[in-house]
Structure 1
Amino acid sequence: MPLLPDQEYEWLEAQTAPACLDWAKKQSQLTANKFDHLPRSKALLAEMEALTSTQVQTPDFWIWGKALFRLRKTTANKQGRLERCERSSTGDDNLPPDATDWKLVVDIDELGEKEGRIFEFHSYMECNLFGTDGERLLLLLSDGGADLVEMREIDARTGHEIPDGFRTGPGRISTAWLDIDHLLICHSVYGGPKTVGDWPAQVHIWERGTHLKDAKLVFTAPLTDAITVASTLGPMNPGRAIITRSINYSTFAYSIVSLDGSVKELSDIPKGQSMTIPIKFTAQHVVVSLAEEATVCGRKVPVGTLVAYDIATDAHAPGDSKLSIVYEPEDDEVNLGLWGGGLAGTRSRFHFAMSKRGVERRMAAEYVAGGSDDGAGAWSIVRSIPTSTGSRSFIVSTDFYSDDIIVRETGILSPSTLWIEHEDARQSVLYAQNAAFDATGFVLRQLTAESADGTQVDYLLLSPKVPHNEAGKAPLLMTAYGAYGISFPTTYLDEMLGGLSIVPWLQAGGSLAIPFIRGGGERGEPWHEAARQKKRQKSYDDFIAVAETLIKNGFTSPECIGVFGMSNGGLLAAVMCTERPHLFGAVVSDVPLTDMLRYPTMGMGGAWIYEYGDPSDPEMAKVLRSYSPFHNVSDGVKYPPCLVTISTNDDRVGAGHGRKFAAKLKDAGAASLYFFEDDSGGHNVSDSFKNTKLLVRRLVFLMEALL
């Protein structure tokens, strides 16, 4: 079938239109028929299912006052069991809580079965717990992995829903307790005005015993904003919560809301910030990381500086007097975890992780009244702990009633260990992950390639110590992300590495390369800025440079290289397919963006204009079209085998991107184009623990093409 005009594919953007679902079902069945019956498929499925049953998946943990919570997933409970234990049961030793200490709060799978749905748990626990022992929980449930959630108020000690408690239908929801009878809530349950990112723009105070429709409106964000979020200021700030306006993904404004409905904007906080939602805080301060130079406390401070704003002192004090500098980074020092685990607050300390030339340390700072030379308050580093070589450390949860935290340390070859780190530096082990494979047979190296403009690009190469293939023919998977200043997560069995599916690949003799391309956060905000909007091609040039370097150095060959990526990484994979089809032997594009001229109209794409650029601007449209995968599919090109995977209920990117790209490739005569659309899973459809069959299909596709 010849290529149609671009607009003739727009019908595939309708997320749940019957014609779209019928098309997707037929294409998905063809893909399943192709791969499910191949000889290696049955063995790989058995291997993956065996891996999921060995308890290698790390539970999520939270700490809250006198209680610990965890979400534990097994083969029998793929969505997880939310459990709670009293902290006193852990004792003072380094032993994890005994299995009998954990009491069931909610079995997510069982609840879904009871109501005929596939519930997934959304885990903004720091905003959703109330009371010194976490006795009340606002349970957020997604139907099938969509970003829309519904909320239910639960007694966390019994697991029972509170009679006539707070409860909503589905919508984009963020919330915070003001007191036991009042919530600050930002929601789209009943429609209402929305931001360009399709998020609710209005924030209300909802009183117990009243209908959500009657909640008191206290704030409306400009509809030109990207995202509006309501979040907690912790139990040490009763009767107050905070609204975050993400004007775009690097410009933020904040307002504190009090129980009486009054709203105070924190206008003196510099607005150019790295994205951290929800905002981090201690009992006395909110803390941000600067994405641009700013003048703070009378002097210029660099990008990456952590700046605090005092929310506890006299409201009438001058705003600039409430600012203080928590930490000013050294040259070449960056925070790799701004999006998760690299910034966190407890009652009186602020915790953060910094990396300098590959050496990471985790630090904590405390505010000391009168601690500076002029008698003003100042921050003092009270803890600096190096991370083990080859690993990353993450602050996964913090206690607002103390200065205790939960830390996770992990690496590509190092299973995760989690522990409670007490304010006196004692450590109590919570969990040690089982190894999924023998790491002694592999070597992990950090190498460098030169990009098209001469920039040196670091990359990790994980390969067998003893090659399984002849020189220059190593089967290699490459993946990266490269956007929003996000550092690629080099953690054990990370979802962005394929989760459990990377294990059979490595055991079959495969290798893995992870280029730290521009657009990401591996070298701080300048590395992100270097590939934003009109400079996006530099991100792709970096990835291509690593592939070409590995070929030039005799490690592999084009027909042996597979590319995979999810979300923006799925866009990257699709660009590699259309821009350099002869450089790669296979491509997997998971939940991708592909139509860069219409992305603001799909999912929450309107929130991403700061990152990619506005296609309504003619000059920007030329740039976007130059790499937009959908627009660069052409007749007569020999494309590598390509698998596109999406979910019907991915309301973040939207199903239209993947459908349109696959349909156009098929019409262009791509001989080995495969498409699979799952009806659930949302933007995380390729979770290898929950969706083993999909990951097996992906693995079979890659092995058939590359091994």
Structure 2
Amino acid sequence: MAGESGVDAGNLDPEHDPYLWLEEVTGDRAMQWVRAQNDRTCTELTATAEFTSLQADLLEVLDTDARIPYVRRRGTYLYNFWRDGDHVRGIWRRTTLESYRTETPVWDVLIDLDALADREGENWVWKGANVLRPGYELALVTLSRGGADAAVVREFDLRTREFIGVDRGGFALPEAKSDVGWIDSDTIYVGTDFGPGSLTDSGYPRVIRCWSRGTDLAEAPTVFECKPEDVAASGWFDPTPGFERSFVERAVDFYNAQRWLLTDDGDRVRIDTPEDAEISVRKQWLLVFTRSPWTVAGTEHPPGTLLAADFEEYLAGARDLTVVFAPDEHTSLETYAWTADHLVLVTLHDVQTGLRIVNPGTWTTRPFEGLPRAATIEITGTDPDRSNELFLSASGFTQPSTLLRGCIDADDLAEQPQPIKRAPAFFDAADLDVTQNFATSADGTAVPYFVVRRAGAPAGPTLLYGYGGFEISLTPSYSGINGRAWLARGGTYVVANIRGGGEYGPAWHTQVLRAGRHKVHEDFAAVARDLVARGVTTPEQLGAQGGSNGGLLMGIMVTRYPELFGAIVCQVPLLDMYRYPQLPAGASWIAEYGDPSDPDEWAFIREYSPYQNARADRTYPPILITTSTRDDRVHPGHARKMAARLQEQGHPTWYHENIEGGHGGAADNSQQAFKSALAYEFLWRHLSGGADN
């Protein structure tokens, strides 16, 4: 079949790459090329009244004060980071629950990032704050220049609302991909760039030290280190009263890790669980979430099972495990969270969410009652230190988000979840239908997908979105951006729950690792064909969009399945699968894709690597490739080289690179609005008949 042929001699020899110079992130020649590409793309796509109006519409969605200010409880306060038109870079602020319940909460601003950036002459982008438990008086604030993963760390005093400078004994780290966490008010665990040999091949911390206030970081004692070829080392402290413990972890690859309990005398006790399992320790309990079959005491537990044990007894050798959750053909465990006395499970049944409450010890479960039906429910915050409070967000493709607050009693729901904030509707969804269909992939697997479209609409412009990797599930959710830019124009929106995600548990992901990767592409192509077969759209009117790992998927659709699509948007993508481990963070993904330096593994990777498979003698749909100069997770060289090669071959290719923005592609709301408008305008022009394809 056209679009599914293998690699042949006409393809690029990876050892003779004519565009290696585009991997020089800020090289003069590379940046000159970037600016020329940006000028061309902006001239052709943004110099219209329609684009200006669309961008303004999307910025209104991002900047409006009517959005829900999602919060995390830290002690007596609820904390929120907020961006709008008056706070472009954002403010970190807090309020009380009583005030938060009102229509106009009174916020106590802790950090004004715009003022800080102006004062220091830096384009700071917020990366988060680690607040010290249980006093919540100090924080380790992480700030990035332009949105990169590498960031600086500074200590902040929440009482005085001031950064604690190094001259006053404050903790501070220069720009790096650091891993920091509190032990107590005068001690932290830190992994960072200590100098040669202190980072892994993936660029993450290899060495963990225990740093005491007022001492030289270079003299801080090392408590743990992993191998250079590992992904990363990490260390953390659990301050739960009565269960204070320290842990260290060696991430062997993206999905396998070894963990130890650190004893008071400095010894390490191995937590002997499967390396590919996810574990957590809470008070006296150990939870183990399996990612592959695990046989214990003669019983085999399938992937996706959540098991519980007494932590101290387990360390001593006991293997008395209780099944807390067992998957079935249609139901998987998406995530879980602790309150003070309970465990709350979020499950997916054919990609529809449900919640259950678990009583630790007896491990009995019951449904979480009082929740909105036909909505995706997410746990946005809990208060495990102090109460059984939890915050939940409920939304759907056509349902704006509602924030609910509930409390769980020891025996029952003391307080049914109550709505405390509602987001506005950003588009008219009155005549929109949401349906779920199943496509049949090449190996016979049923692949679910959601369709959002006007009731009774004829075949028309349709946008198919996918990701398919790293066990990340795509569930129904409300997007004012998508609604205004696509659905309100009459477009149809489709989300494909292809393999590689976690919609049906770990096995939905693990079966496509390395040599099984082709199943991801086959699933997405099957959904595209099914949409046409059902009369939803035509190949000429079908567009596709994806970013990061989803950007790789888009590159594969262009080079291997071009006949299925009328236009494609490929964002912050991986595309050169021969060189990806040699570029920032790439080595950490070998467990997902395979190692191209191994001839046996390169044999299956080369079958789909978009950069090597681009052909001049094929007809490709128009493609827009976007990335960010400051993306230090997926190197911008992927996007640059692919665009240059496609253009050289004569394919209709547009390119735009944000000079800042990190892996998210945007550093503020204005940049986000521009990036989104660019993608939707490109797709609408090519799929609605507004451009010469």
Q: Would you say same fold, with TM above 0.5?
A: yes
Equivalent of 1:7, from 6, 11, 17?
Answer: 17
Deviation digits for residues 14-51 of structure 1 (CA, Å, limit 9, x no counterpart)? 22222222211211121111112134212212322333
Residues 1:359 and 1:490: Cα distance change in structure 2 (over 3 Å): closer
Q: CA deviation at 1:98?
A: 5.8
Residues 1:178 and 1:240: Cα distance change in structure 2 (over 3 Å): farther
1:434 aligns with 2:424: yes
What is the CA–CA distance in structure 1 between the aligned matches of 2:478 and 2:143, rounded to whole Å?
27
1:299 counterpart letter in structure 2: T
What is the CA–CA distance in structure 2 between the aligned matches of 1:75 and 1:280, rounded to whole Å?
40
Equivalent of 2:234, from 213, 229, 232?
Answer: 229
Deviation digits for residues 673-700 of structure 1 (CA, Å, limit 9, x no counterpart)? 1111111111001588342122222222
Corresponding residue for residue 199 of structure 1: 204
Q: 2:473 touches 2:501 (CA, 8 Å); kept in 1?
A: yes
2:587 counterpart letter in structure 1: G
1:331 aligns with 2:328: yes
1:169 alignment partner, SS class: strand
Corresponding residue for residue 379 of structure 1: 363
Corresponding residue for residue 17 of structure 1: 27
2:355 alignment partner, SS class: strand
Q: 1:251 touches 1:273 (CA, 8 Å); kept in 2?
A: yes
Corresponding residue for residue 289 of structure 1: 289
Equivalent of 1:615, from 596, 599, 604?
Answer: 596
What is the CA–CA distance in structure 1 between the aligned matches of 2:178 and 2:24, rounded to whole Å?
23
What is the CA–CA distance in structure 1 between the aligned matches of 2:84 and 2:320, rounded to whole Å?
46
Residues 1:106 and 1:382: Cα distance change in structure 2 (over 3 Å): farther
2:148 alignment partner, SS class: coil
Deviation digits for residues 395-438 of structure 1 (CA, Å, limit 9, x no counterpart)? 22222312322222222222222233223342464432122112
Corresponding residue for residue 28 of structure 1: 38
Residues 1:335 and 1:245: Cα distance change in structure 2 (over 3 Å): farther
Correspondences of 1:566-577 after superposition (within 5 Å): 566-577=547-558
1:534 aligns with 2:532: no
Correspondences of 1:387-402 after superposition (within 5 Å): 388-402=372-386
2:396 counterpart letter in structure 1: G
Corresponding residue for residue 496 of structure 1: none
Q: 2:576 touches 2:610 (CA, 8 Å); kept in 1?
A: yes
Corresponding residue for residue 266 of structure 1: 270
What is the CA–CA distance in structure 1 between the aligned matches of 2:123 and 2:420, rounded to whole Å?
29
Q: 2:243 touches 2:283 (CA, 8 Å); kept in 1?
A: no
Residues 1:158 and 1:416: Cα distance change in structure 2 (over 3 Å): farther
Residues 1:543 and 1:383: Cα distance change in structure 2 (over 3 Å): closer
Deviation digits for residues 105-146 of structure 1 (CA, Å, limit 9, x no counterpart)? 1122222222222222223x5xx2124452211111111111
Q: 2:55 touches 2:674 (CA, 8 Å); kept in 1?
A: yes
What is the CA–CA distance in structure 2 between the aligned matches of 1:681 and 1:111, rounded to whole Å?
18
Corresponding residue for residue 138 of structure 2: 136
Correspondences of 1:128-277 after superposition (within 5 Å): 128-132=130-134, 134-162=136-164, 163-188=168-193, 190=195, 192-236=197-241, 240-257=245-262, 262-273=266-277
1:693 alignment partner, SS class: helix
What is the CA–CA distance in structure 2 between the aligned matches of 1:97 and 1:216, rounded to whole Å?
49
What is the CA–CA distance in structure 1 between the aligned matches of 2:111 and 2:505, rounded to whole Å?
40
Corresponding residue for residue 662 of structure 2: 682
Q: CA deviation at 1:64?
A: 2.1
What is the CA–CA distance in structure 1 between the aligned matches of 2:560 and 2:198, rounded to whole Å?
39
1:464 aligns with 2:464: no
What is the CA–CA distance in structure 1 between the aligned matches of 2:566 and 2:469, rounded to whole Å?
24
Q: CA deviation at 1:103?
A: 0.7
Residues 1:397 and 1:676: Cα distance change in structure 2 (over 3 Å): same
Q: CA deviation at 1:501?
A: 4.3
What is the CA–CA distance in structure 2 between the aligned matches of 1:308 and 1:193, rounded to whole Å?
36
1:84 aligns with 2:94: yes
What is the CA–CA distance in structure 1 between the aligned matches of 2:19 and 2:657, rounded to whole Å?
17
Corresponding residue for residue 101 of structure 2: 96
Q: 1:169 touches 1:189 (CA, 8 Å); kept in 2?
A: no
1:439 alignment partner, SS class: coil
What is the CA–CA distance in structure 2 between the aligned matches of 1:440 and 1:408, rounded to whole Å?
22
Q: 2:125 touches 2:667 (CA, 8 Å); kept in 1?
A: no
Q: 1:64 touches 1:401 (CA, 8 Å); kept in 2?
A: no
Corresponding residue for residue 462 of structure 2: 476
Residues 1:133 and 1:193: Cα distance change in structure 2 (over 3 Å): closer
After alignment, is 34-43 or 382-391 more displaced? 382-391
Corresponding residue for residue 422 of structure 1: 407
Q: CA deviation at 1:502?
A: 4.3
1:33 alignment partner, SS class: helix
After alignment, is 428-437 or 25-34 more displaced? 428-437
What is the CA–CA distance in structure 2 between the aligned matches of 1:141 and 1:53, rounded to whole Å?
21
Corresponding residue for residue 343 of structure 1: 336
Q: CA deviation at 1:630?
A: 0.4
Correspondences of 1:62-77 after superposition (within 5 Å): 62-77=72-87
Residues 1:701 and 1:219: Cα distance change in structure 2 (over 3 Å): same
1:321 aligns with 2:318: yes
What is the CA–CA distance in structure 1 between the aligned matches of 2:275 and 2:438, rounded to whole Å?
35
1:11 alignment partner, SS class: helix
Corresponding residue for residue 492 of structure 1: 478
Q: 1:55 touches 1:434 (CA, 8 Å); kept in 2?
A: no
Q: 1:475 touches 1:511 (CA, 8 Å); kept in 2?
A: yes
What is the CA–CA distance in structure 2 between the aligned matches of 1:553 and 1:662, rounded to whole Å?
33
Q: 1:171 touches 1:188 (CA, 8 Å); kept in 2?
A: yes
TM-score under structure 2 normalisation? 0.90
Q: CA deviation at 1:520?
A: 1.2
Q: CA deviation at 1:227?
A: 2.8
Q: 1:218 touches 1:263 (CA, 8 Å); kept in 2?
A: no
1:103 counterpart letter in structure 2: D
Q: CA deviation at 1:97?
A: 4.8
TM-score under structure 1 normalisation? 0.89
Q: 1:3 touches 1:668 (CA, 8 Å); kept in 2?
A: no
Q: 1:106 touches 1:159 (CA, 8 Å); kept in 2?
A: yes
Q: 1:584 touches 1:640 (CA, 8 Å); kept in 2?
A: yes
What is the CA–CA distance in structure 2 between the aligned matches of 1:649 and 1:237, rounded to whole Å?
44
Corresponding residue for residue 374 of structure 1: none
Q: CA deviation at 1:156?
A: 2.0
Equivalent of 1:355, from 329, 348, 355?
Answer: 348
After alignment, is 55-64 or 379-388 more displaced? 379-388
Corresponding residue for residue 561 of structure 1: 542
2:87 counterpart letter in structure 1: N
What is the CA–CA distance in structure 2 between the aligned matches of 1:191 and 1:159, rounded to whole Å?
36
1:55 counterpart letter in structure 2: D
What is the CA–CA distance in structure 2 between the aligned matches of 1:310 and 1:545, rounded to whole Å?
46
What is the CA–CA distance in structure 1 between the aligned matches of 2:347 and 2:579, rounded to whole Å?
38
Corresponding residue for residue 4 of structure 2: none
1:150 counterpart letter in structure 2: V
1:488 counterpart letter in structure 2: L
After alignment, is 522-531 or 197-206 more displaced? 522-531
Residues 1:181 and 1:228: Cα distance change in structure 2 (over 3 Å): same
Equivalent of 2:647, from 640, 663, 666?
Answer: 666
Q: 1:419 touches 1:429 (CA, 8 Å); kept in 2?
A: yes
2:391 counterpart letter in structure 1: I
Equivalent of 1:652, from 614, 629, 633?
Answer: 633
What is the CA–CA distance in structure 2 between the aligned matches of 1:506 and 1:82, rounded to whole Å?
33
Q: 2:258 touches 2:275 (CA, 8 Å); kept in 1?
A: yes
After alignment, is 48-57 or 642-651 more displaced? 48-57
Q: CA deviation at 1:465?
A: 1.8
Deviation digits for residues 309-352 of structure 1 (CA, Å, limit 9, x no counterpart)? 545x48xx753327643513142354463xxxx22223343322
What is the CA–CA distance in structure 1 between the aligned matches of 2:88 and 2:374, rounded to whole Å?
30
2:378 alignment partner, SS class: strand
Residues 1:323 and 1:591: Cα distance change in structure 2 (over 3 Å): farther
Equivalent of 1:48, from 35, 55, 58?
Answer: 58
What is the CA–CA distance in structure 1 between the aligned matches of 2:258 and 2:357, rounded to whole Å?
25
1:446 aligns with 2:436: yes
Q: Which runs of 5+ in 2 are unaligned?
A: 1-9, 689-693
Q: CA deviation at 1:254?
A: 1.4
CA RMSD of aligned residues (A): 2.5
Equivalent of 1:590, from 571, 583, 595?
Answer: 571
